[in-house]
Amino acid sequence: MNPISITCKHESLESCLALAATQGIGLEIQSFAFPPLLNDDNWDEMVTYYESRLQNFHGSVALHGAFMDMAPGSPDKNFLQITRDRTRRDFEIAKRLNAKTVVFHANFIATIHNDDYREGWTKRMVEFYKPIAREAENMGLCVVLENMWEFDPSIIRRVVEEVGSSALAACLDVGHSQLFSHLLLEDWLQDLDGWIAHIHINNNYGEIDEHLALDDGVLDYEKILPRLAELPRNPTIVLEIERLEDIEHSLSFFKLPHSEQN
């Protein structure tokens, strides 16, 4: 069975932590992905607080890194330096929280369907992530690149292939793949296949990224979940769902050992 996790933001930390501990599943901490905590002068104190809250948590921990305005594929060296600094701070936070996986968005500008841009972006992404992947490997971390606006899975696959590091893989966001791409989910799965180490799941009604319960929307998870279980890397499946009651309901799609005991 794939490892199961749930996402939590700062305002839902306590409830999600309690649920994850009860169900014997993992957590993806998303609190530090957003500018308010990143820019707060007290961010270090907040990390210390999270360390204390996670001290007795025995599930796996992942960290969603900064994503707003991050530009690892930028040709501007100043933007690259800011992105590099944010990335390294996320690595520091991940180590302090005992996280093993750090999620970053690829942030390809998908409105540009220009071959020159795509080739240049890929080259710059590889140049950015080769040293970053080495740093991650030395720290015992795995970076996973998540699809957001990307309309084609090969945009991310080429980067992870060309970097060629065990510390860099793909994060497939199922909802994003069906909202921002005209390709079938199966196309994404076949293309990324063994590169997928982390998966975000939720549902929507085909217009916006609503983060709904698994059975509330246009995506058929009764069919999707068995297919995800076939992926060769046994990726962690993360319920990225907004409301706690929807998370609890969606966990019923999985045969969790702790649920059977309760």
Please tell me the distance from the alpha carbon of residue 178 to that of residue 50, in angstroms, as a whole number.
Answer: 34
Please tell me the distance from the alpha carbon of residue 147 to that of residue 65, in angstroms, as a whole number.
Answer: 14
Question: For 97-153, how does the pLDDT look when each residue is reduced to its tens digit (9 = 90+)?
Answer: 999 999 999 999 999 989 999 999 999 999 999 999 999 999 999 999 999 999 999
Three-state DSSP state, 66: coil
Single pTM value for the model? 0.96
Q: Are strands 61-64 and 26-29 parallel, antiparallel or unpaired?
A: parallel
The letter for the amino acid at 88 is R
Other C-beta atoms lying within 10 Å of the C-beta of residue 36? 10
Using an 8 Å Cβ cutoff, are 108 and 67 in contact? no
What b-and-e string marks burial along 105-124, b requiring 16 or more CB atoms within 10 Å of the CB? Answer: bbbbebeeeeeeebeebbeb
Helix axes 43-54, 77-96, angle to 10 degrees: 30
Using an 8 Å Cβ cutoff, are 146 and 103 in contact? yes
Give the torsion sign (CA, 189, 113, 73, 129).
positive
Question: For 193-232, how does the pLDDT look when each residue is reduced to its tens digit (9 = 90+)?
Answer: 999 999 999 999 999 999 999 999 999 999 999 999 999 9
Please tell me the distance from the alpha carbon of residue 181 to that of residue 98, in angstroms, as a whole number.
Answer: 34
CATH domain 4-261 topology? TIM Barrel (3.20.20)
Please tell me the distance from the alpha carbon of residue 167 to that of residue 132, in angstroms, as a whole number.
Answer: 9
Residue 4 has pLDDT above 80, yes or no: yes
